[in-house]
Amino acid sequence: MLGNFSYLNATKLYFGDDSLKYLNEELPKYGKNVQIVYGSGSIKKNGIYDEVVRVLKENGKTIIEDAGVMPNPTVEKLHEGVRIARENHTDLLLAIGGGSCCDYAKAVSVSVNCDEEPWEKYYLRFEEPTCEIIPVGCILTMAGTGSEMNAGAVITNHETHLKIGHVFGPEVMPKFSILNPKFTFSLPKRQMVAGIYDIFNHICEQYFSGQDDNTSDYISEALMKSVIHSSLIALKDPEDYEARSNIMWTATWALNTLISRGKTGDWMVHMLGQSAGAYTDATHGMTLSAVSLPYYRYIMPYGLQKFKRFATEVWGICPEGKSDEEVAKEGLAAMEEWMKKLGVAMKLSEIGGTEEMIEGIADGTLILEGGYKVLTREEIVQILRNSL
């Protein structure tokens, strides 16, 4: 039975190979000072930077540079972005990049006018902003996180070995996002497949929770099949527009809060992966792939019917003459084979994890209650060891 819920997503999307032109429609809504947020400079090599700057100048905007956003944005970088915005009286934060840039821009947006330390307020106490929020726009260059249409923002604190995400209220969602699949063509293969697995796992985290006969589950199964199908095409031809556009669109729907309606959500793979990432600084999607199968194999007995459904509906496993457990195991084995084809990390050791880190990673793992089994710390340690 569907529970009671509300749904609001105010982000306006522009999708397609000519979507950048709609930036002209959005810019007049905001003030003169635009802080452009981007990473290491790949957007300058592939020409996206020049295209965006041209549009900004045509609209009479003052451009404020905020470059160097790392794959796992840090507290120090957050402080730097806040300083830049305050000094330049930023009116709009325009993230040009993947999920890290979008997450970082949202974190800056709620921190510029905050009179407290943002890490403590938002990431330790999980409070909501009570100050004015700087609006955010996104121009996506990597599909994966869904950050272009949600209110999540993940920040890493290397000093305390914590990587924490805060899902803010809808007022923090980007006001608009521009999604041109061609902007993702120049991504290295490793980043592409990490994003693909991130998409898939976002769906799994919501699928493996709550009631089984839920409209959200039927949507999730279709989205998962779409990711699997398109990913194999993109592996062979990274510039297949149809495949890359389907991957990009699925990434957005995987985490824009739609399929979470009526679901409790099981985000333990993300909690495990993010804690591992705080130690290894590995690519987010790879931290998830490294811990996923050990986690799902551990909790499978507690949600056996859902794992059986996953096997039959998503992977096409024939259930005839087999026990429910056998079917469920075959589904996870099919998932494993697909992951190997993608080339994602299958073990923590592949991303720099060591036995010496296990206790610390376990300490940094937030224990959530939305899944079929609430883990103990001892179980987390065991799953992490199984992930090595």
Q: 267 and 235: one domain?
A: yes
Domain residue limits at 137: 12-183
C-alpha to C-alpha distance for 153 and 80, rounded to whole angstroms: 16
Considering the domain boundaries, does residue 7 fall inside one? Answer: no
Note whether 266 and 138 are same-domain residues. no
Q: Is 232 inside a domain boundary?
A: yes
Last residue of a domain, one of 134, 149, 183: 183
Of all residues in the chain, what percent are helix, strand and coil, respectively (each to 5)?
Answer: 55, 10, 35
Residuewise pLDDT in 10s, the chain (388 residues): 566 788 889 999 999 999 999 999 999 999 999 999 999 889 999 999 999 999 999 999 999 999 999 999 999 999 999 999 999 999 999 999 999 999 999 999 999 999 999 999 999 999 999 999 999 999 999 999 999 999 999 999 999 999 999 999 999 999 999 999 999 999 999 999 999 999 999 999 999 998 767 899 999 999 999 999 999 999 999 999 999 999 999 999 999 999 998 889 999 999 999 999 999 999 999 999 999 999 999 999 999 999 999 999 999 999 999 999 999 999 999 999 999 999 999 999 999 999 999 999 999 999 999 999 999 999 999 999 999 9
Q: Domain total for the chain?
A: 2
* pLDDT of amino acid 35: 98
Q: pLDDT for 223-232, tens place per residue?
A: 999 999 999 9
- The answer as to whether 226 is a domain residue is yes
CATH number of the structural domain spanning residue 163: 3.40.50.1970
Tens digit of pLDDT for each residue in 277-324?
Answer: 999 999 999 999 999 999 999 999 999 999 999 999 999 999 999 999
In a domain, 3, yes or no: no
Cβ atoms of 251 and 195 closer than 8 Å? yes
What's the pLDDT score for residue 4? Answer: 79
The answer to whether position 118 is within a domain reads yes
Helix (H) or strand (E) holding 12: strand 12-15
* Burial class of 33 by CB neighbour count within 10 A (0 to 12, 13 to 18, 19+): middle
H or E element at residue 286 = helix 284-299
